[in-house]
Structure 1
Amino acid sequence: MTALSKYARLEATGLWRAGPDEQRREVIVSIGDATLVISNLKDQALAHWSLAAVDRKNPGLRPAIYHPDGDPSETLEIPDSEAEMIDAIETLRKVVDRGRPRPGRLRLYGVLASFLVVAALAIFWLPRAVQDHTLRVVPKVKSATIGAALLKQIERVSGVACTPPRGRTALAKLGARLSAGPLVVLPAMTRPSLHLPGGMIVLDKTLFENYDSPDVAGGFILSELVHRDVSDPLADMLSAIGLRENFRLLTTGDVSDAALESYAEHLMSQKGQPPSTDALLARFA
């Protein structure tokens, strides 16, 4: 301890009482190796007090009265004239006190660390874990049902799907030719195409009305197929609607109308991004 070397040669006189029934006697007080040494006037050691266990009976008052921690019956009184020794003892007591562990503080740090770990798991791990588990257990039929319910929400903005018999037949042939699954045409989409959970692809009617050939619509269908290969549309929806709705789907098998409406608005507000050229060319091949 650096502070000890500073006071290694310091001595002072004081009055020491060994017990409540003992007379006070004049002693020499010195600082030893992490101890307070109490000696008689013949330099014979009478007591050694550990600096870590020295307590003060009258903080801030003079003469200073000290005793071993837990034993106030043994006392050492140092007069005001020995102020240097009093200051030295107080300094060393502070040094020792700073070096002591703080159970309360350590406990607080432990609680905070545990809270941060739990919070990190809740924020970063739990949503993904719940989503992954939901994707594993939700059957394809349920995914298609969710896609159909989501389409109903989109129809509130884009108009009801075009369903004349000849149109349905043509769409079925186009979907079969491209191995695309169910196709739906809406009258007023805010984007040319999108794909929904369950494999459904939704197209804007202008892709058919503004072009003489179905090739343009076919190109957008292939583009959506590439997107679907890269990212599961149900996973995209679960990421967007949040942990609460993930739990709802996992436990009840349903997604709330409010969540479907919100996600439908999200889809319609997004501009469709083209897939990578290489992946799209592979689909066209």
Structure 2
Amino acid sequence: MTALNQYQRLEAAGSWRETAKVEPRDVIISFGDATLVLTDPKTDVPLTHWSLPAVTRLNPGVTPARYAPGIDDDEYLEVDDDLMISAIEKVHNVIEANRPPSRHLRGWVMLGALILLAIGAVIWIPPALLRHATDIAPPAQRAEIGRMVLAEIAKSTGSGCSRPSGDMVRHKLAARLIGPDADIAVLPVSLHVARRLPGPLTIIGEDMIQGEATPEIAAGHILAAQAAAAEADPLLEALRFAGTRATFQLLTNGQLPPHALSGYGEALLSKAPPRPEDEHLLGYFARAGIASEPYARALDPTGEAVLGLIEADPFRTATPKPVLGQRDWAALQEICDQ
């Protein structure tokens, strides 16, 4: 989209309030792939992505401009940079101009398609429908679907491990590696890799914190899960499994049917997630202040298959800050102890 490409490097400061119960915080606003990306200026960690087609101006003609990710959302963003305001308005207008003629027309088209599918007993998942549902899903909806996926996974693995001291450490680790509202669940099994679920939720197995594992190796797997999720949205994968009817209900009612993801946990664990591109992943290590070589050596002790992660380690000639102190690491290692 020409209008979006024009502003790809545009950034501005803003004030973001996630919910009505928290104070606004300073953020850096930039354009992503048809999204507004809000980033913590202190850590450069992305805090949230807003779908540009869903962005709503709450106070037209007033400065600072106030935007929300949806018309009924408590979350809002205030911007007083004239160029950023103009860019958001222009890109949003272009997106609106390229929308289908009307929401009602889309509804009738979908209804007709569903009737034909029912008559023919054929299930067809329109890619546009799935992508649209993924793009406009607010953070609360993503988090709820992530909890549904975790509940399905727990049927195969058992519930997530929990001890007071270990819980404090996993929340601390999630805040550093992912973001202030993120969470990491430790499951009492060997998963071999970390996986990002819809919402700010990542799962790891007990094998990530036991045996020869180190905080740096565990952190590397968690960062790899974030990089993989940026390349393949976990929500989109979950909706593909849920199917057309469930996705349509999500769009119309705001919730998936209770059993839409039944069996998804087992299906998710049965296949290995794709490994992210080295260049993309190294950016996550650099922003988190963590060396990539320990993670790379854990994948391949010879280093042959992970040479890019070793040679381009952002801390190859410097000493990074420890991921966790010895006491915190010990507490995390004991989180699954009964």
TM-score (ref. length: structure 1): 0.53
Instruction: List structure 1 segments (4+ residues) > 4 angstroms apart after TM superposition.
Output: 123-126
Partner amino acid, structure 2, of 1:177: R
For residues 190 and 246 of structure 2, the distance between their equivalents in structure 1, rounded to whole angstroms, comes to 26
What is the CA–CA distance in structure 2 between the aligned matches of 1:165 and 1:234, rounded to whole Å?
Answer: 30
Instruction: Tell me what 1:197 maps to.
Output: 198
Taking the aligned partners of 2:266 and 2:189, their CA distance within structure 1 comes to: 14
Secondary structure of the equivalent of 1:244?
helix
The one-letter amino acid of 1:280's match is L
Tell which has more relative contact order, 1 or 2 (C-alpha 8 A, sep 6+): 2
RMSD: 2.6
For residues 64-105 of structure 1, give each alpha carbon's deviation from its aligned partner in whole angstroms, at most 9, with x where no partner exists. Answer: xxxxxxxxxxxxxxxxxxxxxxxxxxxxxxxxxxxxxxxxxx
Q: 1:220 is aligned with what amino acid?
A: H
- Report the Cα distance in structure 2 between the residues aligned to 1:271 and 1:224, rounded to whole angstroms: 11
- Equivalent AA in structure 1 for residue 235 of structure 2: L
Tell me which residue corresponds to 1:267: 268
The alpha carbon displacement at 1:283 in A equals: 1.7
Spell out the pairing of 1:52-71 with structure 2 (5 A cutoff). none
Structure 1 residue 190, shift from structure 2 partner: 4.1
* 1:125–1:188 Cα change, 3 Å: closer
* 1:242 paired to 2:243: yes
3-state SS of paired residue (1:202): strand
Q: Which of 144-153 and 181-190 deviates more? A: 181-190
Distance 1:282 1:195, change over 3 A: same
In structure 2, the CA distance between the partners of 1:228 and 1:262, relative to structure 1 (3 Å rule), is same
Residue of structure 1 equivalent to 2:126: 127
Contact 2:125 2:243 in 1 (8 A): no
Write out per-residue CA displacement over residues 110-136 of structure 1, whole angstroms, 9 at most, x where no aligned residue.
xxxxx9xx99xxx99971222233224
Equivalent position of 1:32 in the other structure: none
Q: Aligned letter for 2:245?
A: R
Residues 190, 269 of structure 1: 8 Å contact kept = no
For residues 201-258 of structure 1, the C-alpha deviation after alignment (integer angstroms, 9 at most, x for no partner) is 0000111012352111101001001012112211121123221221121122222343
Q: Does 1:206 align with 2:213?
A: no
Shift of 1:142: 1.2
Per the alignment, residue 162 of structure 1 pairs with 161
Contact between 2:124 and 2:244, CA under 8 Å: does it hold in 1? no
Cα distance in 1, alignment partners of residues 212 and 123 from structure 2: 47
CA deviation after TM superposition for structure 1 residue 263, in Å: 1.8
**Preserved CA contact (<8 Å) 1:189 1:268:** no
CA distance in 2, matches of 1:131, 1:212: 38
Distance of aligned partners of 1:280 and 1:136 in 2 relative to their CA distance in 1, 3 Å threshold = closer
CA contact (8 A) 2:184 2:204 kept: yes
Q: How many residues align?
A: 167
Amino acid of the structure 2 residue aligned with 1:232? D
| Aligned amino acid, residue 179 of structure 1 | I
Q: SS where residue 262 of structure 2 aligns?
A: helix
Letter in 2 for 1:163: S
Alignment of 1:60-99 (within 5 A): none
Q: Which runs of 5+ in 2 are unaligned?
A: 1-112, 287-338
SS at match of 1:210: coil
Match of 1:252 in 2: 253
Gaps of 5+ in 1: 1-114
**1:226 aligned counterpart, secondary structure:** helix
Number of the residue aligned with 2:319: none
- Quick check: 1:158–1:187 contact (8 Å CA) kept in 2? yes
> Using a 3 Å threshold, how does the CA distance of structure 1 residues 207 and 126 change in structure 2: closer, same or farther?
closer
Match of 2:281? Answer: 280
Return the offset for 1:188.
1.5
What is the aligned-residue identity percentage? Answer: 31
Relative distance call for 1:243 and 1:199 in structure 2 (3 A) is: same
SS of the aligned residue for 1:201 comes to strand
Aligned residue for 1:224, secondary structure, equals: helix
TM-score in terms of structure 2 length? 0.45
State the distance in 1 between where 2:257 and 2:125 align.
21
Which residue of structure 2 aligns with residue 178 of structure 1? 177
- Please tell me whether Structure 1 or Structure 2 has the larger radius of gyration of its CA atoms: 1
